[in-house]
Amino acid sequence: QVQLQESGPGLVKPSETLSLTCTVSGGSVSSNSYYWSWIRQPPGKGLEWIGDIYYSGSTNHNPSLKSRVIISIDTSKNQFSLKLTSVTAADTAVYYCARDQRPPRGWFDPWGQGTLVTVSS
Amino acid sequence: QSVLTQPPSASGTPGQRITISCSGSSSNIGSNFVYWYQQLPGTAPKLLMYKNNQRPSGVPDRFSGSKSGTSASLAISGLRSEDEADYYCAAWDDSLRGPVFGGGTILTVL
C-alpha cells in the first residue's frame, strides 16, 4: 500500500520561499508509471494543481503560478519536493502531495494527509 | 473561477438518490476521462471514481459516474449520513496541459 507524507514548515514569511517534501513509502518514485504531484487547497476553497515531476526529473507546473514553482525529486531518498518562491498571503493553503497515473492523467491516488502552510509575518 | 463547473451545494434525505453535475469543455471533459474525489471533513481528498465510471476497490456501488459530451455526473443512491462531504470532479485539460478541478460541491444529508 503506497503512502505519501508531506513535511515542512507550517509558517513562512511573505516574500520568502515555501519548501515542502513528500516522502513515499510502499512504492518507488523511480517508477515509470506515475507522475508525482503537488496540489493545494486554500482554507474553505477548492483544489488547485500546482505541478508534478516524473522520475526522470521532467516537470510540469500550473501556468497560473508562473515561474515561482520548483519541483525536484530524490530517488535515493524516495522523496520529491516543492519550492514556491516569493510567497504572499494568497499562498496560504493546505498542501497535498499525490501520485498521478501516466497516463491517463488527473487520476490522483493516493494522497498525503496534507500540511497547512500559513504565510504571515 | 474553476475551469470545471459544479453546483456549490446539494442535499438529500437518507435513502434518496442525488446527482452532482460537472460541466467543462472540449479541451477537458470532452476529450479526457473524468475523475471524482470525496473529501470528508478535515481529511484529504480520496479517489471516488476514475475513468468516468470506474469505482476503486472499497467504494460502494451506491456511487456511480457518467459522462456525456462535455459534462459528467456523479450519482449517489441510498444516501447515507456518512456521505456528507465535499465532492470534486477533475479532468486533464489539453489546452492548459494540466489537470483541472471543479469548484467542489458540498453535500448535506438532511
Return the pLDDT at B24.
Answer: 98
A6 and A73 in contact (C-beta within 8 Å)?
no
Q: What is the pLDDT of residues A18-74, one digit of tens each?
A: 999 999 999 999 999 999 999 999 999 999 999 999 999 999 999 999 789 999 999
Return the pLDDT at B1.
Answer: 82
The phi, psi pair for B81, rounded to 5°, reads -60, -30
Peptide bond just before A14 cis, omega within 30 deg: no
Nearest to B32 among A96, A106, A114 (CB): A106
Name the average pLDDT for chain B: 97
Q: What is the pLDDT of residues B5-59, one digit of tens each?
A: 999 999 999 999 999 999 999 999 999 999 999 999 999 999 999 999 999 999 9
Return the pLDDT at A47.
Answer: 97
Which pLDDT band, with edges at 50, 70 and 90, does A104 fall under?
Answer: confident
Contact A106 B96 (CB under 8 A): no
- HSE at residue A39, side-chain half, CA atoms within 13 A, is 31
Beta strands in chain A (DSSP E): 3-7, 11-12, 18-25, 34-41, 48-53, 59-61, 69-74, 79-84, 93-101, 108-111, 115-119
A114 vs B contacts (CB less than 8 Å): 44
B46 touches chain A (CB under 8 A): yes
Q: Which of B3, B9, B31, B33 to mutate to test the interface with A (most CBs of A within 10 A)?
A: B33
Return the pLDDT at A103.
Answer: 81
